[in-house]
């Protein structure tokens, strides 16, 4: 039997960003208390938490304090210190364990895991040095993308190589970590599936989202994704296979490419609620955050149902002022801002969700609003 954590008890969250904040808000709805470990003072999650521990993620005393005040511990991002998390599993109840983080924070172990689960990935090679890249590049050819094994996000830590002449552009990446180089996938769409599982093995996927990136940062998620039903089924089956083989507890976001023939290739996974699942707060009978809290607290999961087609649009630093000036024009938009004080360019500050009967009209409304100039 899975351990049950009851309302009134305390959920500890490692990481104080917007994902932690939305987890905390979902948990508070059911009456949980929240403790957050985060290095900055006024974090999005810290603003809504009951207990704030302001320290580095690998600070031993801080982790001990978090363990002491929390009845269960979860995390909102994957680049936390694996050894610290592992120690925490010995001092506190961490139902997600530490292995999921170890595997997904390194592209090499992540790809191996996806392949072992029986899912397709782009052809790739692992290279520890630039010289090794030069030796092995013939195995995948051009165009290809070199990515640091660790620490990349929103397109950082990667380099597209169109031909052999571009090879030196990848040199700097090796100062950061080992790299992988993978064949360029000529995708027609990018999609994601958020799969969630509790300790009793109950597993559900949220409807497949279609993701549109601008400058490598997620701009919009359209749900349901505008893909064939058979592709959506392939996507869901792949996410379920990966969740099963990991014996997932909590949330895994699986990002995928759709090819011309409707087949899919898995890009990467994140072991936490995901930007492309924010639409579920309004548009589903269960949000990714509530389901995550249910999973880590040992509750039964709810089968997700989409109330209406929806679009989620990210609000970056440069969009905050135009959005706030336009709030009165769009009564049907659900506006979320994360409480970050500095609206830096390209920093994720919030998002808007629009539920609609007609995706094309809503897309046009987003364009016409002028808030998101291309």
The site for ligand AMP (CB under 6 A) is made up of: 122, 145, 152, 155, 182, 184-185, 190, 213, 216, 255, 267-268
- Going by C-alpha positions, the residue among 45, 58, 42 that lies closest to residue 15 is 45
Q: Give min distance, CB of 131 to ligand AMP, in A.
A: 23
**Listed residue (307, 322, 271) closest to 109, CA to CA:** 271
β-pair type (203-205, 158-161): unpaired
Q: Which residues are annotated as a binding site for ATP?
A: 107, 147, 152-158, 182-185, 190, 213, 267-268
- Cβ proximity to ligand AMP: between 267 and 291 the closer is 267
Q: Give the span between the Cα atoms of 308 and 313, in whole angstroms.
A: 16
Min dist CB 115 to ligand AMP, Å, is 15
Between CA 288 and CA 192 the distance in angstroms is 13
d(CA 52, CA 107) in angstroms, rounded, equals 32
Nearer to ligand AMP, 122 or 362 (CB): 122
191 versus 234: smaller Cβ distance to ligand AMP: 191
CB of residue 190 to ligand AMP, shortest distance in Å:
5
The sign of the CA dihedral 77, 80, 85, 88 is negative
Closest approach, Cβ 11 to ligand AMP, in A, equals 28
User: Nearest to residue 196, comparing CAs of 106, 263, 277, 133?
Assistant: 277
Neighbours of 10 (CB within 10 A): 19
Q: Which residue is nearest to ligand AMP (CB)?
A: 185
75 close to 96: Cβ distance less than 8 angstroms: yes
Q: Which of 46/157 has CB closer to ligand AMP?
A: 157
Q: Which residues are annotated as a binding site?
A: 107, 147, 152-158, 182-185, 190, 213, 267-268
Minimum gap (Å) between residue 283 Cβ and ligand AMP = 22
Instruction: Name which of 149 and 349 has its Cβ closer to ligand AMP.
Output: 149
């Amino acid at each position: 039997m899975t351990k049950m954590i009851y309302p009134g008890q305390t959920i500890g969250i490692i990481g104080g960003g917007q994902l932690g904040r939305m987890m905390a808000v979902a948990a508070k709805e059911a009456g949980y208390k929240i403790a957050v470990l985060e290095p900055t003072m006024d974090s999005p999650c810290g603003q809504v938490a009951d207990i704030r521990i302001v320290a580095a993620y690998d600070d031993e005393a801080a982790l001990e304090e978090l363990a002491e005040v929390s009845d269960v511990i979860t995390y909102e991002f994957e680049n936390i210190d694996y050894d610290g998390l592992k120690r925490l599993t010995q001092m506190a109840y961490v139902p997600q364990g530490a292995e999921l983080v170890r595997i997904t924070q390194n592209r090499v172990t992540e790809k191996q895991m996806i392949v072992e689960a029986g899912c397709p990935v782009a052809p790739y090679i692992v290279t520890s040095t630039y010289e090794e890249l030069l030796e092995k590049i013939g195995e995948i050819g051009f165009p290809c993308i070199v990515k640091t094994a660790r620490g990349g996000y929103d397109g950082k830590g990667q380099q597209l190589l169109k031909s052999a002449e571009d090879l030196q552009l990848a040199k700097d990446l090796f100062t950061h970590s080992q790299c992988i180089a993978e064949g360029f996938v000529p995708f027609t769409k990018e999609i994601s599936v958020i799969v969630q599982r509790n300790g009793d093995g109950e597993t559900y996927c949220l409807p497949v989202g279609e993701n549109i990136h601008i400058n490598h940062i997620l701009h919009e998620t359209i749900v349901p994704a505008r893909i064939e039903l058979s592709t959506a089924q392939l996507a869901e089956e792949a996410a379920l296979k990966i969740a099963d083989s990991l014996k997932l507890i909590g949330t895994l976001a699986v990002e995928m490419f759709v090819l011309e023939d409707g087949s899919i290739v898995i890009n990467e996974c994140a072991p936490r609620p995901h930007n492309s699942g924010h639409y579920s707060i309004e548009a589903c009978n269960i949000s990714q955050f509530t389901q995550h809290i249910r999973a880590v607290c040992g509750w039964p999961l709810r089968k997700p149902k989409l109330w209406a087609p929806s679009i989620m649009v990210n609000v970056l630093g440069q969009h905050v002022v135009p959005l706030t000036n336009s709030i009165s024009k769009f009564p049907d938009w659900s506006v979320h801002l994360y409480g970050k004080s500095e609206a830096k360019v390209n920093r994720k500050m919030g998002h808007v969700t629009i539920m609609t009967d007609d995706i094309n009209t809503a897309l046009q409304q987003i364009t016409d609003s002028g808030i998101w100039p291309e």
